[in-house]
Amino acid sequence: MTSVPVLRTDRLLLRGFTPDDRAPFAALNADPRVMEHLPAPLSRQQSDAFVERIEAGWRSRGLGLWAVERLDDGVFVGYVGLWPVRLDLPVRGSVEVGWRLAASQWGQGLATEGARQALRFGFDVRGLDEVVSFTSVVNLRSQRVMQRLGMTRDASGDFDHPALPVGHRLRPHVLYRASA
């Protein structure tokens, strides 16, 4: 079994999920503000199943999503990490850097800080050559994080997400790339 590496930034602890994280993670995943740019909020059962997929990913790939905790008060704030891209997407085979934080934690640079550390891990420890990130065209907040991370927009790689119906407001996606 692969253990989850523990990483630190100035303000954050990136670590494996614990049973105590499940309730705040489910609340975050059920929050319509947090899930505004995703197809739908998650039920508690769906959220717990997501944690199980995260844990399985660390065991099988030695790569995944970290639970994020603030160092100053120990509060669970969400996740950041590296995740394999779905096979039905044009950038399949790539690794995506992503994040999802509680709305109360937005606007403090935490997503950028945590994702920057995840990228360092991917490039320096795992030896990745490239990491991608993508989101719906209307998700300007996440696009700003990608830009602050120094990622480059690849307009030629923009795509319509196949899991969303034609005409859905979240179907058009933008693609960003970062190289080691």
Residue 2 confidence (pLDDT): 59
pTM, two decimal places:
0.95
- For the chain, domain boundaries: 7-179
Per-residue pLDDT tens digits for 42-60? 999 999 999 999 999 999 9
Taking only the tens place, the pLDDT of each residue in 6-23 is 999 999 999 999 999 999
Q: What is the dihedral of CA 49, 86, 82, 166, to 10 degrees?
A: -90
Confidence of residue 1 (pLDDT cuts 50, 70, 90): very low
CB 150 within 8 A of CB 124: no
Closest CA to 179 of 92, 88, 97: 97
Q: CA–CA separation, 45 vs 82, rounded Å?
A: 23
pLDDT digits (tens, 9 = 90+) for 128-167: 999 999 999 999 999 999 999 999 999 999 999 999 999 9
Give the H/E segment covering residue 133. strand 130-136
pLDDT of residue 161: 95
Could you confirm whether domain 7-179 is CATH 3.40.630.30? yes
Q: Which of 162, 170, 150 is nearest to 36 (CA)?
A: 170
The structure tokens 């970290």 sit at: 66
